[in-house]
């Protein structure tokens, strides 16, 4: 079971270029800022799986942005409320509402709509900023991190050994 999981992660994490990591991290904003179990996030998961982005960064991003999303929800709700009740968009939303798949997406939920809009708007800026930070991280912090005891303890686990084994084979 661990081997299967490690093989999957290896396959997903093989894309380690700064841009791939940065986009994977930024893409996690969508599930982080919107209700987790939704059709939109299923689609986002599909994107994260089939695009050559770093999946670990995506998973880490979900954790980070979910925590931020907890505080951002009221703003998301306000934004969604504003957009969904905007008279000029009512016809559009009404047309969307007639479609089952659109309705499954929960677009008419204020937090989902607000969180989606905010995360989409921030997708590119966060990707660029993340890329810069990753470059700086690899250049200045990585060696220091590898020397941390907690990291060394993690590398001593069975899971890490299986992970690295598959990494070497690939």
Partner 1 sequence: MTKWIRWSGLAGFLAVVGLIAALFIFLLPFLIKSGVEFAGTKLAGAKVTLDDADVTLSPLGVRLEGLQVADARAPMMNLMEFDEAVADLELAPLIIGKAISNELSVSNLRFHTERETSGALEVVIEETEEEKSPSLKEKASEALPSVDEVLAKETLSTPGAGEALKAAWNENSQLIDDAFDKVPDDSSIAQYEEQIQAITSGRLESIEDFRERKRQLDELKEQFKQDRDAVRDAREVVRSAKTEVSAKLTELRQAPSEDLAYLKDKYQLSGSGVSNITGLLFGDDAANWAREALYWYEKVKPYLESGDSAEADSEKDEKAPRLAGRFIHFPSDDPWPDFMIRTARLTGPFDGGQLVISGKDITHQQTVTGRPTVFTVTGEGLQKIGDLDGRLVLNHTVGNATDTLTLAISDWKMAPLNLGVAGARLASSRVQLDATAEVVRGELDADLDANVTQANFTGEGQTLFARELNAALQGINNFNVDAGVTGTLKNPDVAFGSDLDRQINSAISNRIRAKQDEFERKLRNRLNEKMSEYAGEYAEELQQLAAMEGSLDDKLGALKDLASAELEDFKAQQEREAREKLDAEKAAAEEKARKEAEARKQELKDQAKDKLKNLF
Among 2, 16, 17, 49, indicate the residue that binds partner 1 (CB under 8 A): 49
Cβ(12)–Cβ(52) under 8 Å?
Answer: no
Among candidate residues 88, 87, 84, the one with its CA nearest the CA of residue 117: 84
Residues numbered 75 to 94 that lie near partner 1 (CB under 8 A) are 76-77, 80-81, 84-85, 90, 93-94
Site of tokens 């969307």: 96
Q: Does 154 bind partner 1 (CB under 8 A)?
A: no
Among 1, 88, 100, 139, indicate the residue that binds partner 1 (CB under 8 A): 100
Closest approach of Cβ 8 to partner 1, in Å? Answer: 5
Q: Does 3 bind partner 1 (CB under 8 A)?
A: no
CA 144, 148, 154, 156 torsion-angle sign: positive
Q: Does 97 bind partner 1 (CB under 8 A)?
A: yes
* Cα–Cα distance, 54 to 51 (Å, whole number): 9
Cβ(121)–Cβ(113) under 8 Å?
Answer: no
Question: Measured between alpha carbons, how far apart are the two ends of the chain, in Å?
Answer: 19
Stretch of residues binding partner 1 (CB under 8 A), selected from 110-118, 124-132, 153-161, 162-170: 110-118
Cβ(58)–Cβ(48) under 8 Å?
Answer: yes
Q: Does 18 bind partner 1 (CB under 8 A)?
A: no
Stretch of residues binding partner 1 (CB under 8 A), selected from 105-113, 119-127, 130-138, 162-170: 105-113
Q: Does 98 bind partner 1 (CB under 8 A)?
A: yes
């Amino acid at each position: 079971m661990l081997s299967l999981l490690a093989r999957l992660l290896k396959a997903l994490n093989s894309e380690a270029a700064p841009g791939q990591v940065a986009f994977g991290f930024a893409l996690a904003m969508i599930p982080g800022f919107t209700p987790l179990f939704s059709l939109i996030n299923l689609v986002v998961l599909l994107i994260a799986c089939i695009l050559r982005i770093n999946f670990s960064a995506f998973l880490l991003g979900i954790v980070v942005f979910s925590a931020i999303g907890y505080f951002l929800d009221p703003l998301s709700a306000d934004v969604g409320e504003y957009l969904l009740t905007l008279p000029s968009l009512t016809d559009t939303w009404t047309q969307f509402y007639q479609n089952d798949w659109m309705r499954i997406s929960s677009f008419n939920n204020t937090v989902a709509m607000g969180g989606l809009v905010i995360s989409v708007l921030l997708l590119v800026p966060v990707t660029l900023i993340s890329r810069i930070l990753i470059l700086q991280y690899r250049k200045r912090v990585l060696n220091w991190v590898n020397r941390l005891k907690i990291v060394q303890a993690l590398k001593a686990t069975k899971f890490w050994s299986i992970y690295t084994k598959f990494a070497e084979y690939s």
